[in-house]
Amino acid sequence: MADAGKAAQVIFIGDSLTQHWESDGKEVWAQYYARRDALNLGLSGDLTQHVLWRLDNGNLDGLEPKVIVLMIGTNNVTGEATSVPQVADAVAAIVKKLRDRLPRARVLLLAILPSEANPGPRRGNILQVNQIIRKLADDRYVFWLDFGYRYVAGDGTISREVMRDYLHLTPQGYQIWAAAMEDELDILLRWPR
């Protein structure tokens, strides 16, 4: 990890949506991120508290990225025991920990993507969390990007063409993510440290 970490310009932190860059998003990853020696630290099923634990227990050791891409919270929103403010507070704690541990890196905080085939309470909770966490961006070290609307059709539905189970992305879904993030990521990678 330490050798990979020294070379990695970009690290991705998140849950299955991030981890699946290694499967459904593999070709898109090769196109956009392999040349940047990107490192994927996403783990399926991760909740915000799991990410916090990993950050405290060696997940960042040896890493010196220019940019940290963070998308986390969708699994917390699913759980009925976690409220919108709790999810937002946990994301804020992760951003703070990343800033404390890797102060020279820029954090590209991504909105939690919409899920489910049709609009409903889960999507409403995701929108509320996103409204809160977007305020973490200071446009100096933490930057906000929301491209979730790109997955939603005009009638409010999500297609299996972009989210195979209305949560996990297809290769086309990963292409949407990469294209939506490319300009911002390119700018952040050129910023002086």
Write out the catalytic residue numbers: 16, 165, 168
* Cα–Cα distance for residue pair 94/110, rounded to 1 Å: 13
Report the C-alpha gap between 132 and 92 in whole angstroms: 9
Q: What is residue 113's DSSP assignment?
A: P
Q: Would you say 114 and 151 are in contact if contact means Cβ atoms under 8 Å apart?
A: yes
- How far apart CA 68 and CA 44 sit, in angstroms, is 18
The two tokens of residue 106 are 């820029």
Whether the CA torsion 63, 69, 171, 23 is positive or negative: it is: positive
Helix (H) or strand (E) holding 145: strand 142-145
- CB-neighbour burial class of residue 54 (10 A; exposed 0-12, middle 13-18, buried 19+): middle
**CA 151 to mean position of chain CA atoms:** 15
